[in-house]
């Protein structure tokens, strides 16, 4: 058991976490990735991958092995351990692990991923990546001119089934309901029922998946009669939802009702300053290896900028022994320019008794957000980090009075 201080702590070593580790370590930040299992995430179970840009054909393990090696090359440390408890309330983010270690991080990137919701039937686990898939976008091309079955009658399942008809010779949608009843929206339902290449197995559920080197057949069970039917097939696509691995984050960052982390769409920062989310764990449109890697790069660059800016702000503002006068301005707000010029006059009059600093709200949005600056010009007077005064409509005399009071 030990307490370890790091610059960037990344939770999860899938494509998002490994890419974030590469970028953060390459920026000369002390970076650690925590991963409870094998590195690589979901894609590590995929035998064949053809949609990673620039690589026509590879495997999930091969690709993620290269990602791991790349991150470690620049000094990223990958630790086999699981984050079980977090405290993001302070400047230092605290993460405790199952092995009993405590990490103190200046910034955290959450990349624990998500797992496809499984059926738990015989053969499902054995043939995953060998005929059983949870991603049509990833694997449809492998089943060109084949017969496949699709499980899941919600929007995702039905839309993916229709997508598969562009590749497979036959696509059967396994539906637990009576004929004509689907769980998707009406628009999707109408398209599916009128689709010339989509076939249905009503009142049915998947009971077992069979095969040898790959999937060769499935056993269907009629939910009304209990009768079993074996059906030849080359592939099984399962779309019954995904489960984000975010239980340990409940109440710590904002999440939607399904447990996906809500993050800023530009910086990927969560509802907590200095905590970012990347990859399949966050609320997003597309969950693919390439989008996870993109998230990892974005989150790492944003986290690096946060760490650098926060360190500078703490040194130059929060840890100053003398009162600090922050003047907020924007070069595109003409009225703010002469107002913040008063700061120079104030600094000359008070000398080294105070420190006057200008904040350009066009370039720096974090500090204005911290002090709830809604418009410029504005001034905040701080004494050892504590807000002593906040002025929005001010002249030099009001500015001087606020600075004088902070000196008392």
For residue 159, the model assigns a pLDDT of 87
- Give 382's DSSP letter: E
The answer to whether 217 touches 231, Cβ cutoff 8 Å, is yes
Per DSSP bridges, beta strands 386-391 and 93-97 are: unpaired
- From the list 76, 81, 135, 280, the catalytic residue is 135
**Sheet with 204-211, edge to edge strand ranges:** 204-211, 215-222, 228-232
Q: What is the pTM for the complete model shown?
A: 0.79
For residue 47, the model assigns a pLDDT of 65
What does the pLDDT look like over 366-380, one tens digit per residue?
Answer: 899 999 999 999 999
Q: 377 preceded by cis ω (within 30°)? A: yes
Residue bearing tokens 């709200």 = 361
Residue 323 gets the label, from left (phi > 0), alpha (psi -120 to 50) or beta, of: beta
Reference 176, options 215, 207, 140; nearest CA is 207
The answer to whether 344 touches 403, Cβ cutoff 8 Å, is no
- From the list 139, 234, 280, 295, the catalytic residue is 139
Active-site residue flag, 146: no
Active-site residue flag, 139: yes
Distance CA 229, CA 322 (A): 81
- From the list 76, 81, 138, 184, the catalytic residue is 138
Low-confidence stretches of the chain (pLDDT beneath 50): none
Alpha helices in 196-335 (DSSP H): 289-313
Residues 6+ apart with CB under 8 A from 257: none
């Amino acid at each position: 058991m030990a307490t370890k201080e790091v610059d960037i702590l990344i939770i999860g070593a899938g494509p998002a976490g490994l890419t974030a580790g590469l970028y953060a370590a390459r920026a000369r930040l002390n970076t650690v990735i925590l991963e409870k299992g094998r590195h690589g995430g979901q894609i590590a179970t995929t035998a064949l991958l053809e949609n990673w840009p620039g690589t026509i054909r590879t495997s999930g393990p091969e690709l993620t092995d290269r990602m791991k090696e790349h991150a470690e090359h620049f000094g990223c440390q990958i630790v086999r351990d699981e984050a079980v408890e977090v405290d993001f309330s302070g400047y230092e983010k605290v993460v405790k692990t199952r092995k009993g270690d405590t990490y103190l991080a200046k910034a955290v990137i959450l990349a624990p991923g998500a797992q496809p919701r499984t059926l738990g039937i015989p053969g499902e686990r054995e043939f995953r990546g060998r005929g059983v898939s949870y991603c049509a976008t990833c694997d449809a091309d492998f089943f060109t001119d084949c017969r496949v079955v699709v499980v899941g009658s919600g929007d995702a399942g039905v839309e993916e089934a229709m997508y598969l008809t562009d590749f497979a010779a036959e696509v059967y949608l396994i539906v637990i309901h009576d004929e004509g009843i689907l769980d998707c929206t009406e628009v999707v339902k109408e398209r599916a029922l009128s689709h010339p290449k989509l076939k249905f197995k009503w009142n049915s559920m998947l009971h077992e998946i069979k095969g040898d080197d790959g999937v060769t057949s499935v056993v269907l069970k009629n939910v009304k009669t209990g009768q079993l039917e074996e059906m030849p097939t080359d592939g099984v696509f399962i779309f019954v939802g995904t489960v984000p691995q975010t239980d340990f984050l409940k109440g710590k960052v904002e999440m939607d009702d399904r447990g996906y982390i809500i993050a800023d769409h530009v910086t990927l920062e969560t509802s907590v300053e200095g905590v970012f989310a990347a990859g399949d764990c966050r609320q997003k449109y597309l969950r693919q290896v390439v989008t996870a890697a993109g998230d990892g790069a974005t989150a790492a660059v944003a986290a690096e900028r946060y760490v650098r800016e926060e360190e500078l702000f703490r040194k130059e503002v929060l840890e100053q022994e003398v009162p600090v006068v922050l003047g907020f301005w924007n070069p595109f707000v003409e009225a703010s320019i002469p107002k913040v010029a008063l700061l120079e006059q104030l600094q000359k009059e008070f000398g080294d008794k105070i420190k006057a600093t200008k904040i350009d709200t066009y370039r720096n949005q974090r500090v204005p957000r911290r002090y709830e600056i809604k418009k410029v010009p504005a001034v905040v007077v701080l004494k050892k980090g504590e807000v002593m005064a906040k002025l929005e409509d001010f002249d030099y005399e009001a500015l001087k009075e606020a600075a004088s009071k902070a000196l008392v």
